[in-house]
A and B are shown apart, each in its own frame.
Chain A
Amino acid sequence: MEEKQEKSRGITIRPNDDKLEKQSFSYELARAYVPWQRFTKKWDPMEGLTRGTIFPELYKPYKRDKY
């Protein structure tokens, strides 16, 4: 339980801002949150352009339905 809470709080902190890490807000009802992206790696420029993003973790291609 403790650990789970820690984890869920982990994605709401502002990346690379250690001072704010402890002040990270807690989730509230009737609100939407998007997990923070933490920049780790990127594709090279040409591959990024081809895919539509340079961030592998944000690449979510459409799988065309087959009818």
Chain B
Amino acid sequence: MDGQRLNLLKKIMALEFTALELNLYLDTHPNDQRALAEFNEVSQALLLAKKDYEAYYGPLLNYGFSPSHNAWRWVEEPWPWEISF
């Protein structure tokens, strides 16, 4: 897998991990406005990074959450456990 793809994937992992961490924090601190603002900010950045990735390398999500315009690219390899970072 080429370095550009790996870097983009790693960037998505990092953004999504920040969103996940803020999500768990907000579950027990639902009134923390600052955490909420940061969650929304990183969610937006994550959305853009995913769109960027999917345009080149195919869908990240199944069941209609990612576009698959001209071909059914969901079946394409590699699957996550077949990628070496």
Instruction: Identify the A interface with B (CB < 8 A).
Output: 14-17, 36-37, 39, 42, 45-46, 48-49, 53-55
Contacts and interface: CB of A to CB of B under 8 A. Distances in A.
Contacts of A54: 17-18, 21-22
A14 to B, nearest CB: 7
Given A39-B34, A39-B35, A42-B38, A48 B21 contact: yes
Contacts of B10: 46, 49
B31 A17 contact: yes
A16 B18 CA distance: 21
Dominant secondary structure of chain A at its interface with chain B: loop
Chain B interface residue number, banded: 10 to 19
Nearest to A54: B21
B33 A45 contact: no
B14 A16 contact: no
